[in-house]
A and B are shown apart, each in its own frame.
Chain A
C-alpha cells in the first residue's frame, strides 16, 4: 500500500510540475503573441540582448561540438558501411542523423548548459534578493518582464542554431568523406543535399522549437520556485539542467514517434 501511495504521490507531483510549466509557457506565450495587441508589447531590446546571449555567443562552442559529432557519425557509420562496400552512403547517413535527430538534440543540450541554467540562476538570484517582489510592487509582471523576452529569444534562436549545427555536422562528416571515402568537398555536399528531404529538416526544426519552449519554461520555473538563500539558487540551477535534459529527451521521443507514424513509418 505504501508503495502505491508513493507512486501516486510521485505521479501527482510530476503532473502538477508539468501543469506549472504549461501555465508559465502559456502566460509567456500570451505576453509574446497577444500582449502586443492589448498595449503590452514585448520588451524588444531585452529580447534582442537575450537572443545575443542565447544564440550568437553560443556559436563557437556549438560549431566545434557539432563539427566533431558530424565527424564521429561519419566514422561510426563508415565502420558498418565499409563491410558492404557502401562507403559513399556516409554522406547521407551523416546528413539524415544530423538533421532529424542529433542537430536539434545536441543544440538543445548545449543551450540547456549555457542558457537554461543561466535562466534559473538569474531568476533564482532575483527571487532571493527580493527583485521579483520589487517588480510586483512596481506593478510590473515578472513573467512579462523576465520570462517573455527569454521565450522570444529561445523560440527564434534555437531553430537558427539547429540549422547551423546541421551545417557544421555535415562539414564535420565531409572531412572524413574527403580524406577517406574518395569524395571531393563539392561532391560530398551534393550527395548530402540529394539524400535530404525537406521533411527531414522541418521535423528537426519543429523539434528544436519545442525544445526551446521546454528549456525556457523549465529554467524560468525553477528560478521562480527558488526558496530563500544562496544554496537554493544552486539547487534550482542543477534541477533546471537535469529536468530540462530529461524533458527534452521526452519531447524528442514524443515528436519522433509522432513524425514516424504521421510520415507512414518512412
Chain B
C-alpha cells in the first residue's frame, strides 16, 4: 500500500520483528493507594488478536490504560515492542505511542473538529505531509471503516456506531502496529456491534496488526479472538485460545462464560461478611 510506505519513510524507527509485541511482567497498578492489578503476566504475539475479558471492576480497563501509558505501574514491567514502557522517558514513550492506535469506548472524537479533521489530526501533528496528501489519507482511512463521504460531518451528527468507526479510522491514521479497543460494542445494538466485530476482523486480515480488545461481550470475543485472557479482581485467572477457554473447568471461568450470576445473599451473616470484606462473597 502506497500510503503505508509513505508513513514508513518518515518514521525510521522500526518495531523489532521478532519476540512478543507486548509482555507484561508482574504488573501492579494502584489508584490512590488501592491496588487494582495484582501482578499480571502475559504476552501478546505479533499479529495476534487478544481479547481481555472481565466483569465490571475486574481491572481490565485499568490494564488497557496501563498498556497505552495512561497509567503508570506501581511495579512490574510493560514491554511494548522491546521497550519497557514504564521505565522510558516521555519522549521515548511518545515515539512508541505514535505506532499505537486506540479506539476509546465513547469514541473520544473531538467535538469541535469535523470527522476528517479528527482523523487527520495525528498526521498533521506528527508528520510533515502536504495537506492534499493528508486529505487523501483521511479519505482512505474513512473508506477502510466504511465512512466514505463523512469527512465534513461533526461527531455530534453521527450515530453511535459511526462514531466508533470514525474513532477506529483515527486510530488507524498513523498505520499503527498495535490497535487497542476499549469495549468496542458497548452501547451499540447487536447489528451495529456485529458490524464493528466484522471491521476488527477485516483490519486483522488486511494489515496483520496486533489487536488488543477489552470487552465483556462473549459473542464478540469468541468471534474475533485468537487468544483470550480472563481477568478477575485484578488477576489473570485464565488464558488460552477460544477453544481452550470454552473447555475450561475452572469454576470462575465457567461462571463467566456460562453467564452464571453471583449467588444471591442467602443469610444475614453472609451479607454482613460481604459488607465487612468490601467485596462479593467468595463462592
Q: Do B108 and A136 have beta carbons less than 8 Å apart?
A: no
Give, as a whole number of angstroms, the nearest-CB distance from B195 to chain A: 22
Q: Do B108 and A140 have beta carbons less than 8 Å apart?
A: no
A11 at the binding interface (Cβ < 8 Å) = no
B111 contact set on A, CB distance < 8 A: 125, 129, 131
Q: Do B70 and A137 have beta carbons less than 8 Å apart?
A: yes
Cross-chain contact of B70 among A129, A133, A145 (Cβ < 8 A): A133
Q: Do A137 and B100 have beta carbons less than 8 Å apart?
A: yes
A179 at the binding interface (Cβ < 8 Å) = no
Cross-chain contact of A138 among B93, B95, B97, B106 (Cβ < 8 A): B97
Give, as a whole number of angstroms, the nearest-CB distance from B64 to chain A: 10
B122 at the binding interface (Cβ < 8 Å) = yes
Give, as a whole number of angstroms, the nearest-CB distance from B167 to chain A: 8
Give, as a whole number of angstroms, the nearest-CB distance from A116 to chain B: 18
Q: Do A139 and B70 have beta carbons less than 8 Å apart?
A: no
Q: Do A139 and B108 have beta carbons less than 8 Å apart?
A: no
Cross-chain contact of B97 among A125, A130, A131, A139 (Cβ < 8 A): A139
Q: Do B102 and A140 have beta carbons less than 8 Å apart?
A: no
Give, as a whole number of angstroms, the nearest-CB distance from A225 to chain B: 14
Give, as a whole number of angstroms, the nearest-CB distance from A11 to chain B: 22
Return the CB mask of B78-118 against A: 1 if under 8 Å, else 0. 00000000000000011101101010111011110000000
Contacts A138-B97, A139-B94, A139-B97 given; does A133 touch B125 at CB 8 Å: no
Contacts A131-B110, A133-B70 given; does A138 touch B121 at CB 8 Å: yes
A134 at the binding interface (Cβ < 8 Å) = yes
Cross-chain contact of A133 among B93, B108, B121 (Cβ < 8 A): B108
Contacts A137-B102, A138-B97 given; does A130 touch B108 at CB 8 Å: yes
CA distance A137 to B126 in the complex (A): 13
Q: Which residues 124-148 of A have a CB within 8 angstroms of B?
A: 125-126, 129-131, 133-134, 136-140, 145
State which size class the interface on B falls in.
20 to 34
Interface core residue of A126, A129, A138 (most chain B CB under 10 Å): A138
Q: Which chain A residue shows the least CB distance to B182?
A: A130
Q: Which chain A residue shows the least CB distance to B180?
A: A137
Q: Do B106 and A137 have beta carbons less than 8 Å apart?
A: no
CA distance A131 to B68 in the complex (A): 14
Contacts A136-B69, A137-B68, A139-B94 given; does A130 touch B106 at CB 8 Å: yes
CA distance A111 to B239 in the complex (A): 56
Give, as a whole number of angstroms, the nearest-CB distance from B214 to chain A: 13
Give, as a whole number of angstroms, the nearest-CB distance from A130 to chain B: 4
**A contact patch SS:** helix
CA distance A119 to B69 in the complex (A): 26
A129 contact set on B, CB distance < 8 A: 106, 108, 111
A140 contact set on B, CB distance < 8 A: 121-122, 125
Q: Do A137 and B110 have beta carbons less than 8 Å apart?
A: no
Q: Which residues 93-152 of A have a CB within 8 angstroms of B?
A: 125-126, 129-131, 133-134, 136-140, 145
Q: Which chain A residue shows the least CB distance to B70?
A: A133
CA distance A137 to B104 in the complex (A): 10
B65 contact set on A, CB distance < 8 A: 133
Q: Which chain A residue shows the least CB distance to B90?
A: A141
Interface core residue of A125, A134, A145 (most chain B CB under 10 Å): A134
Give, as a whole number of angstroms, the nearest-CB distance from A95 to chain B: 41
B105 contact set on A, CB distance < 8 A: 130
B170 contact set on A, CB distance < 8 A: 138
Interface core residue of B95, B102, B105 (most chain A CB under 10 Å): B102
A138 contact set on B, CB distance < 8 A: 97-98, 121-122, 125, 170, 174
Return the CB mask of B47-82 against A: 1 if under 8 Å, else 0. 000000000000000000100111000000000000
Q: Do B98 and A133 have beta carbons less than 8 Å apart?
A: no
10 nearest A-B pairs in the assembled complex, by CB-CB distance: A139-B94, A134-B108, A139-B97, A130-B108, A137-B102, A130-B104, A137-B68, A138-B122, A131-B108, A139-B98
With A131-B110, A133-B104 given, can you name 8 additional A-B contacts, CB distance below 8 Å?
A: A131-B109, A134-B110, A137-B69, A137-B97, A139-B98, A139-B122, A140-B122, A140-B125
Instruction: Offer 29 A-B interface pairs, CB within 8 angstroms, sorted by A.
Output: A125-B111, A129-B106, A129-B111, A130-B105, A130-B108, A131-B108, A131-B109, A131-B110, A131-B111, A133-B65, A133-B70, A133-B104, A134-B104, A134-B108, A136-B70, A137-B68, A137-B70, A137-B102, A138-B97, A138-B125, A138-B170, A139-B93, A139-B94, A139-B95, A139-B97, A139-B98, A139-B126, A140-B121, A145-B125
